[in-house]
Amino acid sequence: MNVEHPIWIGPSVLSADFLRLGQQLDEVAAAGADYIHFDVMDGNFVPNISIGLPVLKAVQQGTALPIDSHLMIAEPDRWVERFVEAGADHVTVHVEATPHLHRVVQRITDAGAVAGVSLNPATSVSTLEEILPFVGQVLVMTVNPGFGGQSFIPTMIDKIARVRAMIDAANSSCRLQVDGGINASTIKRAVEAGADTIVAGTAIFNERQSVAEALRELRAGITGA
């Protein structure tokens, strides 16, 4: 991952223009994105269907940036190795999606990727307690997963701070990622609460500005400059 930035920002390709995905990947790399966030939805765990393995393979060929795949799917146990084979460097599964979280995390790690676990907005931080020593990333969802372009849920700020305290106490090298409704104004509060890894979809791919302008605005938003 890019050590140039203490706070990593990863554009979510869910909001990219799929007709010119290769070009958009070049644009985010040139603009200094730290990684690519790849959202997988199955129409079952979340009420939407997005992209899967063939698109991941294409993205892997189209970028030198690390790829972080966010599996919003039921029974992730059936799929994690396939996502690593297709090019994911990080694989995040939801704690709500499997009764065998430790096994899934172990399999992601054994397959050679960084394992992450994600919490929906209503899922307690206590669900992290036993798994935290085994993961490289925790993802706190700041919207209900399923769609880009939703509004940040303000009460998630306190949750981010509580996860930050757990990470500092138990596994200090673990990244704390936030996903959903992050823009130039919400990013500051999320980072102040302890997030160090940011996902942004519509704040980066939108009609208002270029990808480079959007990334500059987001980074400036971190310090409130």
Interface contacts to ligand DX5, rule CB under 6 A? 12, 14-15, 37, 39, 70, 143, 145-150, 179-182, 199-203
Which of Zn ion, ligand DX5, none is residue 15 near (CB under 5 to 8 Å by kind)? ligand DX5
Residue number with CB closer to ligand DX5 (23 or 151) = 151
Q: Rounded CA gap, 170 and 128, in Å?
A: 11
Cα 8 to chain center, whole Å? 10
Which of ligand DX5, Zn ion, none is residue 148 near (CB under 5 to 8 Å by kind)? ligand DX5
Q: Find the binder of Zn ion among 27, 39, 68, 196 (CB under 5 A).
A: 39
Q: Rounded to the nearest whole angstrom, what is the least distance from the CB of residue 150 to ligand DX5 in the complex?
A: 5
Does the annotation count 39 as an active-site position?
A: yes
Catalytic pick from 34, 68, 179, 196? 179
Over its C-alpha atoms, the chain yields an Rg (Å, rounded) of 16
Residue number with CB closer to Zn ion (179 or 196) = 179
Residue number with CB closer to Zn ion (12 or 98) = 12
Q: Tokens for 7?
A: 């706070």
Q: Tokens for 128?
A: 């992290």
Q: Rounded to the nearest whole angstrom, what is the least distance from the CB of residue 10 to ligand DX5 in the complex?
A: 9
Burial state string for 35-58 with b = 16 or more CB within 10 A and e = fewer than 16: bbbbbbbbeebbeeebbbbebbeb
Amino acid in position 92: T
Residue number with CB closer to ligand DX5 (37 or 159) = 37
Which one of the spans 38-46, 47-55, 77-85, 151-159 is the region binding Zn ion (CB under 5 A)? Answer: 38-46
Give the residue nearest to Zn ion (CB).
70
The sign of the CA dihedral 132, 166, 150, 153 is positive
> Does residue 179 interact with Zn ion by CB under 5 A?
yes
Catalytic pick from 34, 39, 68, 196? 39
DSSP 103-147: HHHHHHHHTTSEEEEEE-TTS-GGGGTTTGGG-SEEEEESS-TT-
Does the annotation count 179 as an active-site position?
A: yes
Q: Rounded to the nearest whole angstrom, what is the least distance from the CB of residue 52 to ligand DX5 in the complex?
A: 14
Q: Rounded CA gap, 32 and 1, in Å?
A: 12
Do 181 and 152 meet the contact criterion of CB atoms below 8 Å apart? yes
Q: Rounded to the nearest whole angstrom, what is the least distance from the CB of residue 2 to ligand DX5 in the complex?
A: 19
Report, as residue numbers or ranges, the catalytic residues: 39, 179
Q: Which residues here bind Zn ion, judged by CB under 5 A? A: 39, 70, 179
